[in-house]
Amino acid sequence: MLPLNILYQDEHLVAVHKPSGLLVHRSALARGEKEFLLQRLRDQIGKRVYPVHRLDRPTSGVMVFGLSSEAAALLSEAFSERQVEKRYLAVVRGKAPEQERLDYPLREEDGTRPKAEMPAMPAMTDIRRLDSVELPVQVDRYPVARYSLVEARPLTGRRHQIRRHLSQRGYPIIGDAKHGKSVHNRFFAEQLHSPRLLLAATYLAFDHPVIDKRIQLSCALDDTMSALFEQLGWVGHLPLDSVRTPPIAMPTVLQR
């Protein structure tokens, strides 16, 4: 098993590229699974790690953990208060809008009771079409198949928010077994060698909870998504692993 790709580490935090298909930690969804991101990361760096936020099992990309419960609690609060900037890349069916804010309330999907009994919570996602492609193949009922590369910026943190919002808007993410369309998922898996959910967390930016600096993390795509981007002519949109730590901007004090 290959080591996890560590994107950033200091004495308080560690950020890692979570592979698609790997659960973050043990849960009711585990069903006999033996490999979890939290345990693998702990064993790799030889330190206990504390989760701060979540990514769905099939989603890949950047995740940050605290190296102490105190640092994790502070950063988790920043996530809860929407002080963290998040960006995702998604491959969707159809030609997505050039730019739009998706403002659809969502009911929680935590499995504790039927979704219909859960209250609808406010949820907003900004989306932007970065590129699109038209393939001369009949996948569904049309003689050509159109797909888009979308950047999604969730402004709230509901479960499966990006997947559900894009599906409700009519542009489901390829590889989404629950909210997508199986005929397109099959086409990408069998003909384009992309059997995974095509959603990746590519960027996180937040104020460090202990040190006076801002952390900006960019995360490259895995081999499957990178190869797909090459096939579709989207190489110019491939993100790279990078870390920037500009100082936190202080408010200007006006002199009387």
Q: How far apart are the C-alpha atoms of 74 and 164, rounded to whole Å?
A: 29
**178: Cβ–Cβ under 8 A, 6 or more apart, which residues?**
160, 163
CATH number at residue 154: 3.30.2350.10
Model confidence, pTM: 0.91
H/E segment holding residue 163: helix 161-169
The reply to whether 153 falls in a domain is: yes
Joined tokens for residue 102: 């998706």
Whether 219 maps to a domain, the answer reads yes
**Residue 28: which of 109, 117, 107 has the closest Cα?**
109
> Where do we find the tokens 């888009």?
148
Q: Where do we find the tokens 């006999």?
A: 32
Joined tokens for residue 159: 């479960």
Whether residue 254 is contained in a domain is answered as no
Position 161 in a domain: yes
Catalytic residue among 56, 126, 131, 223: 56
pLDDT at residue 118, as a whole number = 75
Which residue type does 219 have?
C
How many domains does one find in the chain? Answer: 1
Q: Is residue 101 part of a domain?
A: yes
| Position 251 in a domain | no
Reading the chain (256 residues) residue by residue, the pLDDT tens digits are 789 999 999 999 999 999 999 999 876 555 666 789 999 999 999 999 999 999 999 999 999 999 999 999 999 999 989 899 999 999 999 999 999 999 999 987 665 666 666 788 899 999 999 999 999 999 988 899 999 999 999 999 888 999 999 999 999 999 999 999 899 999 999 999 999 999 999 999 999 999 999 999 999 999 999 999 999 999 999 999 999 988 766 555 555 4
- Residue 143 amino acid letter: P
Return d(Cα 107, Cα 8) in angstroms, integer: 34
Return the exposure string of 81-92: e unless at least 16 CB atoms fall within 10 Å of the residue's CB, then b. Answer: eeebebbbbbbb
Tokens 């998040």 sit on residue: 86
Q: What is the pLDDT of residue 256?
A: 46
Whole domain around residue 203: which residue ranges? 6-109+119-244
Helix then strand then coil, in percent of the chain rounded to 5, is: 20, 30, 45
Report CA 198 to chain centroid distance, whole Å.
Answer: 10
Q: Is residue 56 part of a domain?
A: yes
- Distance from chain centroid for Cα 210: 25
Q: Is residue 88 part of a domain?
A: yes
Q: Which of 204, 220, 112, 102 is nearest to 161 (CA)?
A: 102
Provide the pLDDT for residue 111.
Answer: 58
CB 20 within 8 A of CB 58: yes
Q: Is residue 131 annotated as a catalytic residue, yes or no?
A: no
**Cα gap 238→240, rounded to integer Å:** 7
Residues 242, 21, 13: CA angle, nearest 5 degrees: 40
Q: Which residues, in sequence order, are bridge partners of residue 23?
A: 36
Give the helix ranges, DSSP H, for 31-94: 37-45, 69-80
